Structure 1
């Protein structure tokens, strides 16, 4: 667990636990309607509370996976989920997704979640590379990832389809050595 101060508010960053499942689903349904940069929109997350509990439990028991949340006064305001490969040959590499409630955008919480992931990866003794996929028009996200040392590695054409318009994604990676 880590505690940071953001605009005189105490933000707690901690690993998710099974009892967070209901609040996480509510959070994900809110953020799905706040940004077109996510892979889902409101109502598309598609997990029941029981399925989310199982997902959290499985993540907690996997050495190359991480699921963290950011809380303000007990309210989930952000999350980050990282999953490493499932086989020996790719267990050292994984991809993450991060999201923040719109009212907390621009306050540094996403950056703190990613820094937590980077430090966890360095300490894990397992993770040697972190990947991410970001829409290529998400300049704020790309600037943040660049600031944290991620390098651009490639483009996925037509990765998103939103309102009958295609968007490309940028693949970025950070070596952990």
Structure 2
């Protein structure tokens, strides 16, 4: 059974293990060999407007998800998100459970219109997950980040609140 809850300071060691997974750090902008101390500091410094969730599967912390609301006044309707799932727990619904909870918060509690993310173009599983929840590719960043000594591309994806009306853009 998957249990989703807010991350706590004493989760640092388990979060460190998630991001020590080869595919997890390769799929994010994290560096290899994260330390527990680094995660303790990150958890101490979480912005109160941000949400950091963890997924616990059979008593083991196996994934994280963050929702980061934009701070600029004209962008407060938007937030970026990120996910990380331990390599040995992919394909078990962890990402689906975390993303569903983040989008529940975004849609029903945080008054967000737009949820954004960046995903490497070769991460087919993540792109499939995001498409399942209504995210669309809006563009591609060429040579976005260095991974294993090679610059790789990434997609910018976004999802608009499914029930929020939008004012259509018209030509002049």
Alignment TM class, shorter chain as reference: 0.7 to 0.9
Partner deviation per Cα, 1:85-107 (whole Å, 9 max, x = no partner): 11221122111110111111111
Pair 1:127 & 2:116 matched: no
- When the two structures are superposed, what TM-score results if normalisation uses the length of structure 1? 0.81
> Which of residues 62, 73, 91 is equivalent to 1:106?
91
Note if 1:27 corresponds to 2:45. Answer: no
Among 63, 76, 99, the alignment partner of 2:61 is: 76
The answer to whether the 8 Å contact 1:14/1:70 transfers is yes
1:82–1:134 Cα change, 3 Å? same
Match of 2:142 among 157, 168, 173: 157
Alpha carbons of structure 1 residues 106 and 112: separation in structure 2 relative to 1, 3 Å: same
1:49, distance to aligned residue in structure 2 (A): 5.0
Change (3 A) 1:47 1:174: farther
Query: Displacement of 1:17 after TM fit?
Result: 2.0
Q: What residue in structure 2 maps to residue 40 of structure 1? A: 30
Cα distance in 2 between the residues matched to 1:134 and 1:45? 24
Gaps of 5+ in 2: 165-172
Is 1:54 the counterpart of 2:44? The answer is yes
Unaligned runs of 5+ in 1: 1-9
Alignment RMSD (CA, Å)? 2.0
* TM-aligned CA deviation for residue 38 of structure 1: 1.8
Judged with a 3 Å threshold, the aligned counterparts in structure 2 of structure 1 residues 146 and 128 are, in CA distance, closer, same or farther, namely same
Match of 1:166, SS? strand
1:16 maps onto 2:1 in alignment: no
Residues 70 and 78 in structure 1, CA contact (< 8 A), matched pair in contact too = yes
For 1:119 and 1:23, how far apart are their aligned partners in 2?
25
